[in-house]
Structure formats: C-alpha cells, structure tokens
Structure 1
C-alpha cells in the first residue's frame, strides 16, 4: 500500500442520525444517488464508531468481490460469518447436476399450471385482470417448494402468495437491515392481526412439510429440509421450529429474485412494443408453439438479453454491503478496518458512463460486442466471488423458461392510472403490485 492517501470526500453536515435516516427513509435510493452524484465514486459517512463508505466504480466492486475478497465479510463477527458461509456451502450442492435434468421440467410445469389457470379464467370471463407480481409469485413459490423442499404446494400457491403480500414485515430481503442489524437502534415491530395470521400460516405450512418429510423421506438427499435437519446450534440439533424459520427465510430469498424480475419484465414488455415483437418472433422461430426445454435456452439469445436488461433496470437487490476486516485501499483511498462498505446495483446499472440512455429498456445492450465494451463490474445482479448469490444459475434458468412458456401465448397490458414504484426495503419488488390485463395471442 502507498504511504499517503487521498482524503475520502465526506459531507460536512453528515451525522450518524441523518445517515441512518437517509438509509431507512422512504426513498433510500435517492439518498445514496445524491451522495454519489455530489461527491464521486467513494464517499465517507459517519456511522458511530464504524464509518460507512459508499463505492460506485467497477474497479472498486471488482476488488470487493474478487481481487481482495479476503478483506471483507458479510457478517460483522467471525462466528456469524462462518455460519453464513457454512449455510451457503450447504445450499450450493442442492443445485449441482439437477438444473437441466430435474429442475427445468419443474419450472416449465409450474408455468404451464398458470397458463392453464389463466386460460380457464379468460374463457369464462373474457377479461383477465391480474396483479402480475402475485401471479408470478405463485409460479416461483411452486417451483421453490418443489425443487428445494421436494414438496408439492401447487394447490396452496395462491394462498401462500396472499400470505406473503399480507405480511407487513418479516418477508423478503432488506439489504440495509441485513447488514446493519445490531448497529442501529432496535425499534419495536408491530404486525397487524392479518399479518400475524399470515406469518403463522406460513410457519405452520413449513412445519407440516417438515413433519411429512420426516415421516416419508424422499429418495434424494438434495432437499433443503434434509440439510437443515443436520444443523446444530451449540452442539444441539435444531428444533423443527428453528428449521421452519430458517426454511422460510431461504424460501423468501430464493423465490423473490424471479418474482421481482419477471414482474418488471411483463411491465417493460407492455411499454416497449418493439422489444415485445422481437421476443415473440424469437419464441415463434425457435419453439413454434412447443413447450420450451432446458436444451432450447442456448437458442433463445434475445430472451436472455431481455432478462439481463430487466435485471439492470430493476435488480432484485438494489444495494450490497460488506464489513471491512483489514485496512484496504481502493485506488488512492484508504478504508480502515472496521468500516462498512455499501455499493449499489441500482446506481451502477444506470450509470451514464457505462450505459447510454440508462433509463431506456434496450436488450441489445447485451450483445457480446456491447458487453465487451463495458467494465465487467458495471453490472452485478447476483454479486460475484466466494459470497455470490447461491441461485445465480437457478434464477436465470427459471426466469427464461417461465417467460418463454407464457409469452408464447399471452400479452400483458398495463392498467392505466396506477402507482408503480419499486420497494427498496423489500427486494425491489413493486410496492403496490402491478395491475395488468392479460390477452391471448
């Protein structure tokens, strides 16, 4: 490391209180965006005894994920970090060797169940109006339960989706809360009676699935219940209630990535008819009305590019954080051990230095030539390195197969007059849903 460093810019008026307020307010994205726009690619914010550093440059992101990954942790203390890495190492084998052979058919079948349900409603009522977020959620929940838990909840999928939406707190992934956790003052959390009932329903559903799993274990050990049942706390096997709670958290994180991406995909397709037409042309040319398979995916490049562009504009997680273990440099700047790093997919993915007309939906940004012209870490929807998202292959496969299955037969049109808004404190989901009418092609 050099002996002298450039001072990291910092707002003179910044305090712990207004930093916390900015990160926890209604629109934390604007708070972070204004800081980066004003002060540049690295900004220091006082945060008690542990300063926060905002990063907004691909080279810095590469250092965090790859070049200097050993300097950073996702959990504050080594015990929690070890537990987290152990969980990731246990989940990853669930995906190995099963994506194309076992999981892909499950994904397509779940989409076909929805296609049939939409068709039945459409034939009976002619007009089919839905909250596309809840519709996609039903599909992703069915897939996650079937693949990770080896449990069939197709009949329950609608009720499960309703329960998740009803919960006021306790679902989804809030990256700020997950990182800062005990570093911020705790506040009492109250849930409405409806939300309490929804959470109770979800936990009881998990408990019933765990008990069924134990009574009649599946042939394969590649079940999340099987892995969780082997976990210990203080040398003791965890209880069924603890298994249910952990399974619930994993289920939320695994299904919401796709639920978020596909919800915004349907919305964007309704706003960009030229993109929709090109998607339909590719699906018609490659599939000719047939149900897609895993083997078809390499022949659907525009579908893949389209979904990459959705994740650019609406990443399911809008900001990522790390704790700094040792003094580390980013270019000419020194960040001391004990600091907290934050860096935002939402900001980087719409940075004008790397994406011309960044708010425009343009899948052709993802041709090989266009990607090669940009720094690699100007785009990181699934993070990277040893702490990358466990579902980084699972989610894109699921997204592509669901979209290819349904977009062959349906078009979605936005219901006018509604408020559309990403919810940055819950996986960047549409805060109020997305009301759309569905039309048979």
Structure 2
C-alpha cells in the first residue's frame, strides 16, 4: 500500500504541475488512497470537516471580503501609490525598494496576483523610466510577492496556528524577523544581479510606457488597507496595547471604516464584500478541504507513518523537506499551496517527534512555497508582471532564482 501511495502522490503533483484543477486532483487522489486503505469515509469526513472549521473559514472569508472592498473603493491603489512614489525620488534604491514595497503591500493584500497587478501598474513604468531593464523591473515586483507569508489572512497561518494551539499573530511573530531579514537578503541579491547584468540603469524607455504622474493620492483611502493589520498588531499578545482582537473582527472593522470614511456605493460595497467571502470559500477553503482529503488518504494508506519514521531518523531530512519540498512544487507549478497544505496536514502535527516545533515547521513549509512561486515562469503573478513589462515570464524566473533559493536557505537555518 505504501508503494501505491507513493505512486499516487507523485502522479498527483505531476497532474498539478500540468495545470489540472488542483482541488479535483487532490480530492480524487485522497479518495483513491482511502479506497485502497479500506476507509473510504475518512476522505469524505476530512473534506466536509474543513468547510465548518471555525478557526479557518471566518478568517479566510473575511480577509477576502475586505480585500475586495479595498479594491472596489480604490483604497489599495492609493496605498500602493502612496508608499511607492517616494522610490522614484531615489533611483539608487529603486530595485531593492521595489522588492520591499511589494513585500509590504502583499502583507495587507495577500493575493499575489492582485498585489502584482496593483503594484506593477505603478512601479514597473517608474522603474523603466529611471533606466531599469523591463525584465529586471518586473522581477523586482515579482520577488516581493511572498510578503503574504506574514499576512494573518493567508490560509497557512490560521492552519498552522490551529495545529499548534496558538493565535495567528503569535505564529507570525515566530518567523517575522527571519522572513524580513530574508526579504532584505533577496532584495540585495537581485540588486547585485542587476548590477552584474548592467540592467540597473541605462535602459531607454519607449514613448508608449505609461507613467502615473497624474495620479492624485487620497491619504484617507491610502491608510484604509492597513487598518486591520494595525488593530491586530496592537491587540496581539506581544504588544497588547488594546484588547486582543480576532482576524475576522479586524477585517469587519476595516470594511465598516471603509464604508464610513470613503463613502462608496453601500449596495455595491456590500456585494463586493460578500463576493469576496464567497470566493474565499470557493477558492481557498475548497482547496484546504481537498488537501485535507488528500492527507487523510496518505494517513489511511500508511504513507504518513512511513514518512514520519523516515524523518525521525534525521532532523535534516525534515528541515530540507519542509523548506524545499513546497519550494520545488511552487517553482514548477506556479503554486506551492497544495504541497504546503499536504505537508502541514500530514507531517507538521508530528513535528515534535523529530525535534521541531509545530509552528516553526509548518511556517517553514508555507514560506518555502511562497518563495518557490516567486521564481516560477507559470505563476499567475509572474505572468501578469511579464505582460506589463513586455517580456517572457521565463526572464523573471531566471533573475529571481538565486534570490529565492538564498532566502529560503536563510529562513531555514534561522527558523529551524
């Protein structure tokens, strides 16, 4: 049965890499393993359970709803312009600055593709106008789209928090310094690559490159997307300036303030919020449920126990598997979500048995997945940015390879 499980798992990720529907592939693979293991109901039970998971569903759905409202009210665009316009005044730091700005924006707007579209529309023309090569300009923005690893609304952080019996902000606090340090390392390495390739200056922009000089920032709108994050940080156990507040409540407060202060069309804003909630259930919770079915199948067929026993023999195996397993799948498929969810479902709960904390190991898996996606030529965010810059997505992947691999290594050795 273990051999059959290995074959099914390999086939599953091959199909995901080939762009078959991830949720369908994970669900069918999980049910097949449950069938072979003689416990078909285990897969359906795990699948259904996630749709009523009180620790995940409200968090994920309200974050998506809030993001949709911020996009509809144009608050996200004003925020991006506000914090990125200063970069154009200091060209010498514009490449590492673009990486860090995108990283920070991606914390507030955890969708990689949404963040890429919002930031890229402003920063790519600005970088090209200062003489940065279009491929390097797009690569800088793409490299910053793993900032969502620090977002309380990213699906993995509530998942890991639930596994570890911690609150979301405490989980993020565990790896925030390591991730921020790695982000700086990645930004510096990309800047060095730009210097070596002579892509940091000298490019003559064509006349049809649009700039955003006519954009007039509304500072009230600009602060709206970060309100929930501020509330969560101030109410966290580490800061405790205000009473502790949950992620769903913080997001609802953000939506309410957006409606009150920005005063958009209330009917349309409400519709956008609930559209985001629905998409969160469909796209994110649905994926988590399918991954839960898959990990249940791995458990039933005996593959999880075999994997745990192998990792008990060496901490280094678990360390590298957590960091570079999801990283590799993310780089090949454009999304490391499936690999990170499967790893966290099957392996992370047993982290203590081979010498690691549950929160640390689970966080490493999702960080690796996010970094791997930042060097994938088939990632949605990369494709969007490549189109904006008028280059092939593979050009972005080549430039981001060294920074992402190095960043994953830095987090791995400092976190685990």
Same fold (TM over 0.5): no
Q: Which has the higher strand share?
A: 1
Q: TM-score, normalised by structure 2?
A: 0.30
Q: Which has the higher helix share?
A: 2
Q: Which has the larger radius of gyration?
A: 1
